[in-house]
Copies of this chain bind each other. A is one copy, B any other.
Amino acid sequence: MTETVRLSLDDARALSLQALARAGLTSDHCEALADLVMAGQIDECHSHGLYRVLSCADAIRKGKVDTAAVPEIFDQAPGIVRVDAKFGFSPLAFRLGLPLLQEKARTQGVAALAINNCYHFSALWPEVERLAAAGLAALAMTPSHSWVAPAGGTKPVFGTNPIAFAWPRPGPYPFVFDFATSASARGEIELHRRAGKPIPEGWAIDKDGAPTTDPEAAMAGAMLTFGGHKGSALSAMVELMAGPLIGDLTSRASQIFDAGAGVTPCHGELLLAFDPNLLSGGHAAEHAERAEVLFDAIVGQGARLPSQRRYAARERSHANGSVEIPKSLHDDLLALLG
């Protein structure tokens, strides 16, 4: 059993804030990052929880991230907000661009937020959830580093390229999904390697392009997309839409920019926000009920909605007023306070 430490929500947030501040980030960045770290931890998405503070500090130590970057907002077009993150972490750029994105979606019907030159940090679900909380549907995507081979190929081109979507629902829990277009997360392969366990078939190929279940061979070869040529096509779409479309890097270009430092990818992110009332011709309430019928048909047959597990964790964390993290992580965070 892993030894764990239970922290109150206030203490966990304070610890994150202190560690981030000690790493050199300005208070605006600290607040934006701590909110996301806490959202991840509360939902028991451990890789996006307090653990992220460590990789954040690592990226700063390697001299890649501008810890005092002040994102610049451009009202680029009636339907477009662009935020230049100026090579800082992405969450503050998102936070600063959000109000204008929402305003544009409500007046234009559909609007885009393009974040450029950001060190990507968070999962996408907290961002699309924010838009759903404002009554908007939302779609988000971002490239990463080129680790994933296209269908029919053997060499890495794509990133893990997540896509997230949110649909507003009555009550606190929107319909949300957020998944990598790769068959697995890169971190999952690394976890198998550390545990000395083979990876499932279909996750990766070795450097000669042969299917492999050996995590070492997979890391030296290429990951695969989920869903064969369809997943590969979607991954290409993420490259194009959250890369060249918004004037930013592909996963390959981002990896070249990284120059072997191995920090969190620097590139762009695209968020789209949709106003159900304008798009439905003013009949959003009636059609929201139609969406609920769809959800009932899924849940009613015993299938799960994508974020149900995460929402159950959230209820648990709030009921407990606390979160649990491995003692080793707690020690590492305390060490950052030095």
Pick from B226, B302, B303: contact of A230, CB below 8 A.
B226
- A36 beta carbon closer than 8 Å to chain B: no
Name the CB-closest residue of B to A304.
B152
CB distance from A135 to the nearest CB of B (A): 12
- Bound-state CA distance A78–B107 (Å) is 7
Asked if A80 and B279 make an inter-chain contact with CB atoms under 8 angstroms apart, the answer reads: yes
CB distance from A252 to the nearest CB of B (A): 6
CB distance from A36 to the nearest CB of B (A): 22
- A185 beta carbon closer than 8 Å to chain B: no
- A265 beta carbon closer than 8 Å to chain B: no
- A9 beta carbon closer than 8 Å to chain B: no
Contacts of A237 in B (CB 8 A): 139, 165, 167, 177
Asked if A78 and B76 make an inter-chain contact with CB atoms under 8 angstroms apart, the answer reads: no
- A77 beta carbon closer than 8 Å to chain B: yes
Asked if A294 and B250 make an inter-chain contact with CB atoms under 8 angstroms apart, the answer reads: yes
A interface secondary structure, majority: mixed
Segment with Cβ contacts to B, from A18-26, A46-54, A87-95, A109-117: A109-117
- A236 beta carbon closer than 8 Å to chain B: yes
Asked if B279 and A245 make an inter-chain contact with CB atoms under 8 angstroms apart, the answer reads: yes
Contacts of A294 in B (CB 8 A): 157, 236, 239-240, 243-244, 250, 252
- Bound-state CA distance A76–B79 (Å) is 14
Binary flags per residue of A218-254, CB closer than 8 Å to B gives 1, else 0: 0000000011111101101101110111111110110
A78-B78, A291-B244, A293-B252 known; A110 vs B112 contact (CB < 8 Å): yes
CB distance from A160 to the nearest CB of B (A): 12
Pick from B80, B227, B274, B303: contact of A150, CB below 8 A.
B303
CB distance from A320 to the nearest CB of B (A): 28
Asked if A280 and B233 make an inter-chain contact with CB atoms under 8 angstroms apart, the answer reads: no
Contacts of A257 in B (CB 8 A): none
- A98 beta carbon closer than 8 Å to chain B: no
Contacts of A243 in B (CB 8 A): 287, 290-291, 294
Contacts of A281 in B (CB 8 A): 74, 76, 82, 116, 247
Asked if B82 and A79 make an inter-chain contact with CB atoms under 8 angstroms apart, the answer reads: no
Residues of A within 8 A of B (CB): 74, 76-80, 82, 107-112, 114, 116, 137, 139, 149-155, 157, 163, 165, 167, 175, 177, 179, 181, 226-231, 233-234, 236-237, 239-241, 243-250, 252-253, 272, 274-276, 278-281, 283-284, 286-288, 290-291, 293-294, 297-298, 301-304, 306
The 10 closest A-B pairs by CB, nearest first: A227-B227, A247-B280, A153-B303, A79-B108, A80-B109, A77-B109, A244-B287, A177-B233, A152-B303, A244-B291
